[in-house]
Chain A
């Protein structure tokens, strides 16, 4: 069986004639959760984009599950098990939460284009309900995505991701913009996902308490290169990290 590991080898990403990621190599094994931290402009989101295919790579390779996916399209990468969420809300405004999750299941199952006049399988809808239940959204099943609160929209993003049953989760600030009261619920969900051990997780996050709770490993980026890598405690104790990322302030985990 092929392990769904992610391997980045000597990656370089340019944008508008500026190098955003340079000579970056990284390995993420199945079942491991890794957080990407770093100051604004360090290249965290660009790195996620390069992995998911949302921006072209100028040099190096992205290998996922044994496939060299460097030149693959976004949808092809998703079909081999990459699930991606974005920093901003990226949903289907007028589709219901149930339809949105069903759409993800359809992507996973490979929508049968030969059966153009058949109904959406009942089984898909039942399964969609279980993901809504898992993300505490079942009471919103019939509601359009644009009528949900920000926190619920974030949960819907997560429900859609889970419905894809991906091997790799690329999460870009999954708690961004959420009300303080909603964050613990989201964190609880993400912890459950991490504890299941089914996914490799690459997480971009600014909130250090989230990083400490959700990651096995932390990678600190600075100007597109890896400054430090290790467990959250080790990395945060690193003086270079303290200087570069936190302006020299000592950090304690919360």
Chain B
């Protein structure tokens, strides 16, 4: 078996299975759920680029996710769900994401990591308040949120599903290329020993800024996928709980693995949905966040590399022993 087959074989198999879901199980509940998983998987992978590959912790990554969802939502709503609205909205959202990440980077990436985390949290909360404010009501419909009409070619479940899947795969390929590029290597160096990277002559600030911009862009695309899947957007997309959910997804899947975000998103989204359904019969399940807390502690204590990280490590160890 060649290295490439070993590396990409399982991924291709998963992709084929996921692509066959609408054919095998039909569209509706399961595809709607998976569309959410796709959006959050991309969001979690974008977060992994920061925490897992660069060693930078952000508590306000939802600011990019929310901006993607809101900007595209506003453009679609105000253009009556036209393809042009989707296209222009996407370009504006990506442009805003770049400006926002450069702005946050310029005021906070030069300072200590803990302050960076705090500033991202503050910016995230500012957008949360703005999105619900009455001042912006004509644009955002304030606290009530807004229903988002989609272009005709995205009005059925199947096209939405395949569109979301295609965007996810494209972004995954780009992210993988990015982490394996010279810039990706420098970022991993920063995670491992920032001072040494600096002493070698790399501008740490510049590389952290690049990571933040790329991560922000991917989170913005995730937000766009989310609004397409939900056809609704409200202040919840900026909520700090979204930033914490994505942290949990990344940790459960495995930080620094990239693919961990896929599994983490699947577990958390499916669990959230199932617990919410069960809460109808057994109210105790309404408190499922407590279970997530327990899961978080168990993973950090017994599987610090997350599920994918632990699996990759054991494969590496086994192939080392065979070699």
> Of A78, A93, A118, A119, which one neighbours B200 at CB under 8 angstroms?
A78
Are A113 and B210 in contact, with the CB atoms below 8 A?
Answer: yes
Chain A residues with CB under 8 Å of chain B are: 52, 54, 73-76, 78-79, 84, 90-95, 99-100, 102-104, 106-108, 111-113, 115-121, 124, 160, 164
B178 to chain A minimum Cβ distance, whole angstroms, is 6
Interface of B is mostly: helix
Are A120 and B177 in contact, with the CB atoms below 8 A?
Answer: no
Residues on A with C-beta less than 8 A from B207 are 111, 113
Are A113 and B206 in contact, with the CB atoms below 8 A?
Answer: yes
Map CB proximity to A onto B180-200 as digits: 1 under 8 Å, 0 otherwise. Answer: 111101101100110111111
Are A75 and B198 in contact, with the CB atoms below 8 A?
Answer: yes
Residues on B with C-beta less than 8 A from A79 are 201
Q: A74-B199, A75-B202 are in contact. Are A111 and B186 (CB under 8 A)?
A: yes
10 examples of A-B residue contacts, CB within 8 angstroms: A52-B199, A95-B188, A95-B192, A103-B185, A103-B200, A104-B200, A111-B207, A113-B210, A116-B183, A160-B200
Determine the residue in chain A with the shortest Cβ distance to B186: A111
Q: Which of B149-202 contact A (CB under 8 A)?
A: 174, 177-178, 180-183, 185-186, 188-189, 192-193, 195-202
The distance in angstroms between the C-alpha atoms of A78 and B197, with both chains bound, is: 10
Determine the residue in chain A with the shortest Cβ distance to B176: A117
- B137 in the interface (beta carbon within 8 A): no
The distance in angstroms between the C-alpha atoms of A103 and B210, with both chains bound, is: 17
The distance in angstroms between the C-alpha atoms of A117 and B184, with both chains bound, is: 9
Max count, chain A CB within 10 A of own CB: residue among B183, B188, B207: B183
> Of B174, B192, B199, which one neighbours A94 at CB under 8 angstroms?
B192
Residues on B with C-beta less than 8 A from A121 are 182
Further pairs besides A100-B189, A103-B200, A124-B182: 20, Cβ < 8 Å: A52-B199, A73-B198, A74-B198, A75-B201, A76-B201, A78-B199, A78-B201, A91-B193, A95-B192, A99-B188, A104-B200, A106-B202, A107-B202, A113-B206, A115-B181, A116-B181, A117-B177, A117-B181, A118-B182, A120-B181
The distance in angstroms between the C-alpha atoms of A76 and B206, with both chains bound, is: 13
Are A103 and B201 in contact, with the CB atoms below 8 A?
Answer: no
Residues on A with C-beta less than 8 A from B198 are 73-75, 78
Residues on A with C-beta less than 8 A from B119 are none
- B204 in the interface (beta carbon within 8 A): yes
A121 to chain B minimum Cβ distance, whole angstroms, is 8
Are B183 and A93 in contact, with the CB atoms below 8 A?
Answer: no
Are B182 and A120 in contact, with the CB atoms below 8 A?
Answer: yes
Are B201 and A107 in contact, with the CB atoms below 8 A?
Answer: yes
Residues on A with C-beta less than 8 A from B177 are 117-119
The distance in angstroms between the C-alpha atoms of A184 and B202, with both chains bound, is: 32
Determine the residue in chain B with the shortest Cβ distance to A146: B192
Determine the residue in chain B with the shortest Cβ distance to A79: B201
Residues on B with C-beta less than 8 A from A117 are 174, 177-178, 181
The distance in angstroms between the C-alpha atoms of A100 and B196, with both chains bound, is: 10
